[in-house]
Amino acid sequence: MKSFDAIVIGAGQAGPFLAARMVEKGMKVALIERKFLGGTCVNAGCMPTKTLVASARAAHVARNGAVYGVNLSGEIAIDMKVVRARAETVTMNARNGLIGWFAGMDGMTVIYGHARFEDPKTVSVNGETLTAPRIFLNVGARPVIPELSGVNDIDYLTSTSIIHLDTLPRHLAVIGGSYIGLEFAQMYRRFGAEVSVIEHGPKLASREDDDISDAIADVLRSEGIDIHTGASDIAFARSRDGITVATDSARIDASHVLIATGRKPNTDDLGLNAAGVITDKHGYITVDDSLATNVDGIWALGDCNGRGAFTHTSYNDFEIAAANLLDGDDRKVSSRILAYALYIDPPLGRVGMTEKQARASGRKIMISTRPMSRVGRANERGETKGFMKVIADAETKKILGAAILGIEGDEVIHGIIDAMNAGTTYPALQWSVPIHPTVSELIPTLLGDLKPVQL
């Protein structure tokens, strides 16, 4: 049996950085990864997909160049092999950077294999047994495949497999109208495929307020994406030319099907029962405000704990664990203000409460909206789709939440994220002097238009 000061299972966006911090403190650490260093973000999520989004945007801009006085002769051709190779290069550079970093780190042992608990302090991997007083789980999540009629009879794609396509689908049917599905829908439409989005619920991006969901749908429809919401009885069948996707109200002749209906944690094959670690009904590991499980000496970080499904929340889990365990701090997950983005174009930047959540809280609230068509920078760039929205507490003057669907919305939202984390009241933020011409310069104006609403 090999003994360590700590064992980290899973090399996503929390585990490796925590392992490195512990090594800096002179600890002996084992980092176990069953596949690739970097987790979903590096290998099948943020880095490859945002690289693909960039290629798709380049195609879109080129195709619309005449609007800006840039005339290109002939059709815009997409070389999917180059597109794929570019995304793979970005992934490999990041992955190899992690490999090189750990290789030069004394005290770190990287083990590739599938770890399972033998007891609360012991895990087995590749026929070896390892033990440590501290074990950290950062095992991530994977696409979930719903039990739909005929789904097992077709060759469907997931968000993991679609990034390896080096040919252009004739017609891509996207099952699921949430964040992952919508990014791929717009991306492949811009590459030149016909695209249909099929969503069981009444709205796309159902977490958002109705006005945001409707605006997202308008953006996608304006680019020729076919959207089917409220779809039921979804079924698949092979056809001579590809795959038939049928719902209660539509029949789609697709060449490829992307299943993007959610993700589930990679916790079902870790031997958690042997350690006594509790999960909820969806398989997420139950943790407290410090990310500790119910078993002393075991923590769960990242997507597998159900406390956030983003790279930045996973990294923040590392920061919380490191601060508490190594720096004598007392940081809590509940102190985190949730923020995220939807990387369609234009992107959606979101922080804090939606209007629906704010109304349900019983607070006296104020709301302000401003269309991107009234933003100078958006007009200069010829990208005026979307709008800005902010919600504030009428009594405390604190900002409760905001949504910016529009050009550079994923960057602009950080001005509000920072203000909310600093506890700045909206009247104070109104007196900032932002740079012109930018999209961010409209934040004080947006805040100045806040008006009370009836609950």
User: In this structure, are strands 171-175 and 256-259 parallel, antiparallel, or unpaired?
Assistant: parallel
Q: Is 176 annotated as a binding residue?
A: yes
Does 24 appear as a known binding residue? no
Could you list the beta-strand ranges (E) of 189-347: 194-198, 226-228, 235-239, 242-246, 251-254, 256-259, 263-265, 298-300, 339-342
Contact indicator for 228, 198 with CB cutoff of 8 Å: yes
On whether 180 is known to bind a ligand per the annotation, the reply is: yes
Q: Which residue has the tokens 């750990």?
A: 102
Closest by alpha carbon to 344, among 120, 109, 181? 181
Q: Determine how many CB atoms are found less than 10 A away from the CB of residue 81.
A: 11
- Which pair of structure tokens corresponds to residue 391? 């919600």
**Cβ-contact 179, 205 below 8 angstroms:** yes
Amino acid sitting at position 126: N
Q: Is the dihedral of CA 432, 437, 443, 446 positive or negative?
A: positive
Residue with tokens 């991006």: 205
Partners of 349 in beta bridges = 341, 404
| CA gap 110, 33 in Å, rounded | 8
Q: Is 114 a catalytic residue?
A: no
Is position 192 annotated in a ligand binding site? no
CA angle 122, 280, 308 (to 5 degrees): 90
- Chain-centroid distance, C-alpha 253: 29
For residue 58 the two structure tokens come to 């380049």
Could you tell me if 154 and 73 are in contact, meaning their C-beta atoms sit under 8 angstroms apart? Answer: no
- 332 labelled binding-site residue: no
Is 199 annotated among the ligand-binding residues? yes
**Cβ contact 291:333 at 8 Å:** yes
Query: Does residue 181 have a known ligand-binding role?
Result: yes
303 annotated to a ligand binding site = yes
Please indicate if the annotation marks 201 as binding a ligand: no
**423 among annotated binding-site residues:** no
Annotated binding residue 178: yes
Which residue bears the tokens 């949504």?
403
Q: Which of 114, 164, 282, 436 is an active site residue?
A: 436
- The CA-CA-CA angle for residues 403, 404, 405, to 5°, reads 115
Active site residues: 436
**Binding-site residue set for FAD:** 50, 303
**Binding-site residue set:** 50, 176-183, 199, 262, 303
**Binding-site residue set for NAD(+):** 176-183, 199, 262
